[in-house]
Amino acid sequence: LSGQEKQLEVMPIIDSTNSELMRRVQNKLPIHSGQVLVAEMQEAGRGRRGRTWQSPFGANLYYSYYWRLDDGLQAAMGVSIAVGLAVYDALKALYGLEVALKWPNDIYLNNKKLAGVLVELDGQVEGPCHLVIGIGINLQMPETASQQIDQPWTDIASHSHELDKDRLVAHLTYALDERLAQYQVSGLTEMVTQWNALNAFAGEVVCLSTGQRQWRGICEGIDAQGGIVLRQDGEVKSYYGGEISLRKE
Ligand code: ATP
């Protein structure tokens, strides 16, 4: 798509594509920004906070992308936002689909989960930060695996006849290259308005929860740092952090 050739690695079976790239980071094996790993099946696909990502063998995409940031953990905060937009870009370009984004990084179509993003980090407050960006996209979900999913879900096959996984990988990789380069040059400046236009919960009453604490309010969108903004009793407050979950009331 960019006119550049890029190598990618495909494995038939792996525990988790994110775990594999993170092992390479931790074992200091060669890895470079923009490197992609795809698996045909994951035996231990993960969501956030120990949840399972159903990853049966077949058409679905299990994809991880490595990116190195040199400005420490602080700079990693907005990455989920850039990644959500990259997934939007790819699905729009390839299938003409208009997905909605749920903070921090889930992808919904008609209120059903189509794709999930799991950004994992290895780094210090300052210095280099290694990011492994995992993306699972349901292309065609087998019946048996679908029965294990405990929330409304959907797949590309329910909306499009185009099910070529290679083309999806090419579009997704191109979109990530573009969005992460944009993020590195200008941060979230231009992305905040774009993300807010796609916010699945815009203007809705939502509940934010960390497991221990909960906050209720009207979802206003994201702020300049990528935090989620809630209006509560007339006051507007931002919340940050990878361990927070957002639910519609
Ligand atoms: P959060 O807001 O905390 O991210 P979440 O429920 O969306 O909440 P994730 O960790 O993003 O959680 O994703 C894992 C959840 O997604 C699972 O608990 C399950 O409900 C659902 N799920 C698992 N596999 C799939 C899949 N292949 N397609 C759609 N949804 C799935």
Q: What is the pLDDT of residues 131-143, one digit of tens each?
A: 999 999 999 999 9
Strand order in the sheet with 61-69: 8-14, 36-42, 61-69, 129-137, 112-123, 106-109, 100-102
Find where tokens 């210095």 sit.
Answer: 127
Look up residue 56 and give its two tokens: 């049966």
Query: Is the Cβ–Cβ distance between 134 and 119 less than 8 Å?
Result: yes
Query: What pLDDT, in 10s, does the model give residues 98-130?
Result: 999 999 989 999 999 999 999 999 987 778 899
Q: Which domains does the chain have, with CATH numbers?
A: 8-197 (3.30.930.10), 205-248 (2.30.30.100)
Instruction: Report percent pLDDT > 90 for the chain.
Output: 82
Which residues have CB under 6 Å of ligand 1?
Answer: 47-48, 51-54, 106, 113, 116, 136, 138, 149-151, 153, 245-246
List Cβ neighbours of 167 (8 Å cut-off, separation of 6 or more).
Answer: 94
Query: Is the Cβ–Cβ distance between 138 and 122 less than 8 Å?
Result: no
Look up residue 50 and give its two tokens: 């120990």
Please state the rounded mean pLDDT for residues 4-16: 93
Residue 55's pLDDT is what? 98
Query: Is the Cβ–Cβ distance between 94 and 178 less than 8 Å?
Result: no
Query: Is the Cβ–Cβ distance between 105 and 47 less than 8 Å?
Result: no
Cα(151) to centroid(ligand 1), Å: 8
Query: Is the Cβ–Cβ distance between 39 and 21 less than 8 Å?
Result: no
Give Cα 109 to chain centroid, integer Å: 14
> For all residues of the chain together, what is the average pLDDT?
94
Instruction: Report percent pLDDT > 70 for the chain.
Output: 100
Which is higher by pLDDT, 215 or 74? 215
Cβ count near 106 (within 10 Å): 22
Cα(37) to centroid(ligand 1), Å: 21
Band the pLDDT of 74: cuts 50, 70, 90: confident
- H helix count then E strand count, the chain: 6, 12
Q: Give, for ligand 1, the residue of 46, 53, 248 to mutate: max count of ligand atoms closer than 8 Å to Cβ.
A: 53
Residue 70's pLDDT is what? 86
Residue 18: is its pLDDT beyond 80? yes
**Segment among 17-21, 150-154, 178-182, 232-236 with least mean pLDDT:** 232-236
Q: What share of the chain is helix, strand, coil (3-state, %, to 5)?
A: 25, 35, 40
